[in-house]
Chains A and B, each alone.
Chain A
Amino acid sequence: DAGVIQSPRHEVTEMGQEVTLRCKPISGHDYLFWYRQTMMRGLELLIYFNNNVPIDDSGMPEDRFSAKMPNASFSTLKIQPSEPRDSAVYFCASSPPGVAYEQYFGPGTRLTVT
């Protein structure tokens, strides 16, 4: 079975550019989470969705970050404009109905903003 799919795996962009990260959750899962991982701050939850509806976006750093989930099989995390401090690995995770805490992670997108 396919796990969580993320694209691209690596992204290098210049400061000020728009960046869009993509995620396809596991089929049948109704929770989707976006995390950011850095050496300094570890794994941080940015936002999560349930049944395509954003439930908690309190972890989104600032207005430059936005996330959407137009349907059950696709989500995007957008950064506009990007800054060097946004450099990190961004993970998408999904979980089955009723067990939001059993999260299955994608391979991540390593973002470098120069």
Chain B
Amino acid sequence: GQQLNQSPQSMFIQEGEDVSMNCTSSSIFNTWLWYKQEPGEGPVLLIALYKAGELTSNGRLTAQFGITRKDSFLNISASIPSDVGIYFCAGQGTGSSASKIIFGSGTRLSIRP
């Protein structure tokens, strides 16, 4: 089945640093999504990408839909403490799975002590 490989698994940041994470798949996806999950809460949709090559921003967050439709990345500029959480990429399935989304394993973002 379709699977997403998300990296890195975890990262430590200092306030003010830029952050980059990515997601790859061996399968094509029609839509890429990025979610953030904070402790004790459900994932919250941050950005949705609909076309290959599309670059979309949401405040300090920027995400791109890869040209091959098999990858996506998320950048966070000038990180702040409230950016801490788990970031999930997700891809919309194709064909009979078009109503489902497949989640990556997540990137845990922490503040470096």
A105 at the B interface (CB under 8 A): yes
- Asked if A42 and B45 make an inter-chain contact with CB atoms under 8 angstroms apart, the answer reads no
Are A102 and B48 also in contact (CB < 8 A) when A45-B100, A56-B100 are? yes
Picked from A31, A48, A102, the residue with its CB within 8 Å of the CB of B45 is A102
Give the distance to chain A from B41, nearest Cβ to Cβ, in Å.
6
Give the distance to chain A from B21, nearest Cβ to Cβ, in Å.
15
Across the two chains, which residue of chain A brings its CB closest to B40? A107
Among A42, A43, A106, chain B packs the most CB atoms within 10 A around the CB of A43
Cβ contacts B22-61/A at 8 Å (1 or 0 each): 0000000001010000001111110010000000000000
- Asked if A48 and B42 make an inter-chain contact with CB atoms under 8 angstroms apart, the answer reads no
Q: Which residues of A are found within 8 Å of B106, using beta-carbon distances?
A: 42
Q: Can you report 28 A-B residue pairs in the complex whose CB atoms are below 8 A from each other?
A: A42-B103, A42-B105, A43-B88, A45-B100, A45-B101, A48-B99, A50-B99, A55-B99, A56-B99, A56-B100, A91-B42, A93-B42, A100-B92, A100-B99, A101-B31, A101-B48, A101-B92, A102-B33, A102-B48, A103-B45, A103-B101, A104-B45, A105-B42, A105-B44, A106-B42, A107-B40, A107-B42, A108-B42
Interface residues of A (CB under 8 A from B): 4, 31, 42-43, 45, 48, 50, 55-56, 91, 93, 100-108
A108 to B90, CA, bound (A): 19
A31 to B100, CA, bound (A): 10
Q: List 9 additional A-B contacts (Cβ < 8 Å) besides A45-B101, A107-B42, A108-B42.
A: A42-B103, A55-B99, A93-B42, A100-B92, A101-B31, A101-B48, A101-B99, A102-B48, A103-B101
Interface of A: prevailing SS:
strand
A104 to B48, CA, bound (A): 13
B98 at the A interface (CB under 8 A): yes
**A/B pair count, beta carbons within 8 Å:** 47
